[in-house]
Amino acid sequence: MAHAHGHAHDGHTHHLAAATRRRLVAALALVLTFMVVEIVVGALASSLALLSDAGHMLTDALALGIAFFASRLAERPPGGFLTFGLRRVEILSAQANGLLLGVMAGVIVFEAARRLSDPPEVDALPTLVTALVGALVNAGVIVILSGARRGSLNVEGGFQHALTDLYASLAAAVAATVILASGADRADAAASIVVAGLMARSAWRLLRSSGRVLLEAAPAGVDPDEIGAALAHSPGVVQVHDLHIWEVTSGFPALSAHVLVGTDVDCHKARRQLEGMLVERFELRHTTLQVDHASRPAPLQVGEAGAGIGQPKRPVT
């Protein structure tokens, strides 16, 4: 049995993680600053709309804080019974952010439905000004997070919160403009429902992607049948058993398999060649291949026994 861990990438990965955390902190500082401004102005102006939006910004700050601490925990080295360390904390963070987005969407829909039936009078001008300032703040947060490691579901969770906040600010600005022009107070609730739909979509994507990792499904875009066929049809390979492809965390795909080669084939050389092929063709660097000699040199029967050399059949998995 042998392992190809790709240690050369560890330093680069740590550097990216540190840079991502700096961006998360910058985004968090921007969100908290604007939240404080909204609380102060809302209290002085007795504006429930501003105080409610401040509460919304608080959930964004919570999402970014979760993303930051999850990234720190994921950097801890493996030890004891945690043989992969705490890398999957990032996936749990993405799940938490997805659930938070979903809950927020439900609350907004509930409140919007109430306001559609009994619309309150909306003070449109302060709402418009605040929405435009909020849009600028959220655009700044998005620019900051766009340079972070978006391949991480953890970071993607914080990004989706900022993106939906930008949608909310723009929708509020449009609704306030409509109210100023026509006096139609229901425009505010209608815009909220549109935003809630966008939030629900982002929540579903985060939950689906993180759920795939937790269920140890093959990473998105990776075809286990294609990889199994490439292994089974490599020179000297007789059959492939117990092929598993999963994702430990974002950007950390892994593969394990039991490979049988011909009795006259060098197992160690075959293993090195297979590892090289997996890196070159599929960018799979974290692999565990157990390579043994087949018990007999005779060609195998096609079917449950496995795929013989040169036979375009699916390998046993």
Summarised one tens digit per residue, pLDDT across range 26-57 is 888 988 888 888 788 767 755 545 556 666 67
In a domain, 257, yes or no: yes
Number of domains in the chain: 2
Q: In this predicted model, which residue has the larger pLDDT, 147 or 234?
A: 234
Residue 167 and residue 225 in one domain: no
Mean pLDDT of the chain, nearest integer: 79
Output the domain CATH number for residue 93: 1.20.1510.10
Distances (CA, A) of 206 to 16, 211, 215, 220, 227: 21, 8, 14, 13, 26
Q: Does the structure show a pLDDT above 70 at 272?
A: yes
Residue 155 and residue 93 in one domain: yes
Q: Does the structure show a pLDDT above 50 at 58?
A: yes
pLDDT at res. 269:
93
Residue 188 and residue 223 in one domain: no
pLDDT at res. 13:
52
Q: In this predicted model, which residue has the larger pLDDT, 149 or 113?
A: 113
Residue 156 and residue 47 in one domain: yes
Domain boundary among 159, 184, 214: 214
In a domain, 1, yes or no: no
Residue 103 and residue 233 in one domain: no
Q: Does the structure show a pLDDT above 90 at 231?
A: yes
pTM over 0.75: no
How far apart, in whole angstroms, are the C-alpha atoms of residue 122 and residue 65?
32
In a domain, 58, yes or no: yes
pLDDT at res. 310:
37
Q: Are 94 and 209 in contact (CB under 8 A)?
A: yes
pLDDT at res. 12:
46
Q: Which domain holds residue 49?
A: 7-214
Quickly list H helices, the chain. Answer: 10-45, 48-74, 89-117, 124-146, 153-182, 186-214, 224-232, 267-282
Q: Does the structure show a pLDDT above 70 at 156?
A: yes
Residue 109 and residue 209 in one domain: yes
pLDDT tens for 192-203 read 888 888 888 888
pLDDT tens for 234-263 read 999 999 989 999 998 877 899 999 999 998
In a domain, 296, yes or no: yes
In a domain, 237, yes or no: yes
Q: Does the structure show a pLDDT above 60 at 287?
A: yes
pLDDT at res. 230:
94
How far apart, in whole angstroms, are the C-alpha atoms of residue 148 and residue 90?
14
Output the domain CATH number for residue 284: 3.30.300.30
Range from 159-168, 262-271, 302-311 that averages highest in pLDDT: 262-271
Residue 58 and residue 203 in one domain: yes
pLDDT at res. 307:
38
Give the residue-averaged pLDDT of 15-19: 68
Distances (CA, A) of 88 to 70, 71, 208, 210, 252: 9, 10, 15, 10, 10
Residue 99 and residue 142 in one domain: yes
pLDDT at res. 260:
94
pLDDT at res. 235:
92
Residue 57 and residue 74 in one domain: yes
* Residue from 52, 14, 19 nearest 35 by CA: 52
In a domain, 2, yes or no: no
pLDDT tens for 78-136 read 777 777 777 788 888 888 888 888 888 888 888 888 888 888 777 778 878 888 888 89
Q: Does the structure show a pLDDT above 60 at 4?
A: no
Residue 78 and residue 96 in one domain: yes
- % pLDDT > 70, the chain: 82
Residue 221 and residue 95 in one domain: no
Domain boundary among 199, 214, 229: 214
Q: Does the structure show a pLDDT above 70 at 191?
A: yes
Domain boundary among 159, 187, 214: 214
